[in-house]
Chain A
Amino acid sequence: MARIELDRLHKTYGPVIAVKDLSIAIEDGEFVVFVGPSGCGKTTTLRMIAGFEDPTSGEIRIGGQIVNDLEPRDRGLGMVFQSHALFPHKTVAQNIEFGLRMKRVPAAERARRVGEVAAMVRIAHLLDKMPAQCSGGESQRVALARTLVTNPSTFLLDEPLSSLDAKLRRELRAECDRLHEELKRTFIFVTHDQEEAMTLADRIAVMRAGEIEQVGSPMEIYSNPVSYFVADFFGSPSMNLIAGALVHEDGGPRFRSAGLSVRLPDIYTTLRPGPVTLGIRPEHVGVRPGVGGDVELPVRLIEPLGKDTLLYFNDGTDRALVAVSEGLALAGLKSGERVALTFAPNRIFLFGPDGKRIRL
């Protein structure tokens, strides 16, 4: 069993706390993505799992066994680095077979497995080339092959797609997905790109300032964020987050901000008035020409994207209120036209001044 447990992992560099009391259990065969902004501790965590950093305190267990004292090569892990880290002076084939040589696998067997793995990631035609002759995408595939061939129980990937351009990134993302399907091994993936996290992960661990803010499936993270930070991080275009206050008027809860006033669902009646932030995703803001709805606003900017149309509204804050409308139906709107906006009631989030989601 390759179940990985991180138990109160803590890492300090002098006065700086890089990872704070982090605990999580990763099941065998899961694709877990650690995601968060730069400096949140995700790479440090990964490197502690690999063994390149020692935790200041806390335990790392693989398959129930504490591995804190084991060298990286004895932990049975495979790792793909952000910079692919191929050996520049060896051929692609020599790079791939390196791990097998360390395990003293005989030459014939090595050649066979190298061939197998090269076919799996489709680089068989590059085997005799030098890394310098490979493109960015090819190099990263070679890096994948190099770890694949050693058959580790778990794959660690440290922002492997960050140095690639958008198109290659999508290609290799699909590759990682496919490999995970085929091999059914545990994948621990670190990235700062929320899209990668959403598409690849079985479970996402959202990190901020050394701690895990939320763990859950992509669905959960997206539709049930526990905090302002998580809500803001995921989704493209980002969730609309409007600062304002909860008041009671006309017998019911209401959200008031500098630019708008919206009636809230009745469940919020029991809430005491106070400052809150309203969150609603652009795709949950309904737009209709004319009047009515929760609020009427003039549209400021229209961006027809083809599949969708983005509409920007001034809600009195620095950030524009964004609505997404399917198709190009509303592409003909003129700037300044007043339209009716409806906020889907069960998609409204309220966040308290501490950043946490207000749940009832």
Chain B
Amino acid sequence: MTKSRRGLVTTIFRYVVLTLWAVVAFFPIYWIIATSFKIDTQWFAWPPVYFPDPPTLANYLNVWLGAEQYAQTQYAISSQKPLISLMNSAIIATTSTFLAVTFGSVIAYGVSRYRILSDVRMFQLLMLRMIPPIVVVAPLSLYYSALGLLDSMLGLILIYFLTTLPYAVWMTKSFIDEVPREVEQAAEILGASRWRTVFEIVLPLIRSGLVATFLFILILTWSEYLLALIITKTQVTTLPVELSKYQGSTEGRVYGRQAALAVGITIPLMIVGLVIRKHLARGFSFGMVRR
């Protein structure tokens, strides 16, 4: 087979396979967005309705704004106030992420330049995160209730901070590693103190990396389910838990509204993820990929 002929077959093959998976990957996302715009008669229609016609904002209005008048059928959701959950999620996620990145980057600097943690410890730190939360959630909730941290934002922030710290250290360390030692030494021999070198030279150079790390961890804390489920009761809810409450309620399958809620949860995350997509590889590689 000639080079060009083989090239054509390969190309066609490539596009076919990739497009196939692209459809598989995208279809569910399309579906949930489409469903969120469907009127209730189309939620379980057979044959399935692939394109909402007529599209409606009723689901969004009902779910996000608690507009009772848009509860079109007897499927009325007891208003759980998703907007409050949204705010809770936002506060908890951003605070814990901020803490993780701040402390993580300081530790990462120490590891990168002074090896305050050995290779082994770094991996152990990573593996800490890999213990299934399920095995510690029960005693954790009892411990928290004794401390009064149950059903509180602080409690959740604390545990999210500790569980995402390993990621923060690993990611920022890889960014700090890329700042050449010579640049720091040049500053040093020109008279800069260590603190000045860190704040004026090193950190500005990894600014985009810090942002990427922040957003990456934000995704994790935003979508976390199990810990939030156990630790929050009535005072505090996060969005993922809120969504599952819709399922558990006795009103049955309110697909359209669930979809509207789901879309609201997911879209911000997708936007964030797309913004940092170039850094995702770094976040996941943990030193196994040579740069």
- Determine whether A and B are in direct contact in the complex, meaning some CB atoms lie less than 8 angstroms apart: yes
Using CB atoms and an 8 Å cutoff, list the residues of chain A in contact with chain B. Answer: 50-52, 71-73, 77-79, 81-83, 85-89, 98-99, 102-103, 143, 146-147, 150
Stretch at the interface among B147-155, B181-189, B262-270, B277-285: B181-189
Cβ of B126 under 8 Å from chain A: no
Inter-chain contact B204/A102, CB cutoff 8 Å: no
Inter-chain contact B180/A85, CB cutoff 8 Å: yes
The contact string, 1 if C-beta is below 8 Å from chain A, for chain B 38-49, is 000000000000
Complex CA distance for A82 and B182, rounded to whole angstroms: 9
Residues of A within 8 A of B192 (CB): 73, 98, 102
Inter-chain contact A98/B189, CB cutoff 8 Å: no
Which 7 A-B residue pairs are closest in the complex by CB-CB distance?
A: A102-B191, A99-B190, A85-B182, A85-B186, A73-B191, A72-B189, A81-B182
Inter-chain contact B188/A72, CB cutoff 8 Å: yes
Q: How far is the CB of A55 from chain B (nearest CB, A)?
A: 17
Chain B residues 151 to 202 lying within 8 A of chain A, measured CB to CB, are 180, 182-183, 185-192, 196, 201
Inter-chain contact B186/A146, CB cutoff 8 Å: yes
Q: Looking at B183, B190, B204, B205, which has the most chain A CB atoms within 10 Å of its CB?
A: B190
Inter-chain contact B180/A146, CB cutoff 8 Å: no
A98 contact from B182, B187, B205, Cβ within 8 A: B187
Q: How far is the CB of A125 from chain B (nearest CB, A)?
A: 23
- Is the contact region of chain B dominated by helix, strand, or loop, or is it mixed? helix
Inter-chain contact A73/B180, CB cutoff 8 Å: no
Residues of B within 8 A of A52 (CB): 185, 188
Inter-chain contact A87/B190, CB cutoff 8 Å: no
Complex CA distance for A143 and B188, rounded to whole angstroms: 14
Inter-chain contact B187/A72, CB cutoff 8 Å: no
Inter-chain contact A79/B189, CB cutoff 8 Å: yes
A102 contact from B182, B183, B185, B190, Cβ within 8 A: B190
Inter-chain contact B189/A73, CB cutoff 8 Å: yes
A150 contact from B182, B183, B190, B204, Cβ within 8 A: B190
A50 contact from B180, B189, B204, Cβ within 8 A: B189
Chain A residue at smallest Cβ distance from B182: A85
Chain B residue at smallest Cβ distance from A143: B186
Residues of B within 8 A of A89 (CB): 204-205
Complex CA distance for A83 and B183, rounded to whole angstroms: 9
Inter-chain contact A73/B185, CB cutoff 8 Å: no
Inter-chain contact B205/A81, CB cutoff 8 Å: no
Complex CA distance for A82 and B205, rounded to whole angstroms: 20
Q: How far is the CB of A140 from chain B (nearest CB, A)?
A: 13
Given A88-B205, A89-B204, A89-B205, A83:B182 Cβ within 8 A: yes
Q: How far is the CB of A194 from chain B (nearest CB, A)?
A: 25
Q: How far is the CB of A185 from chain B (nearest CB, A)?
A: 15
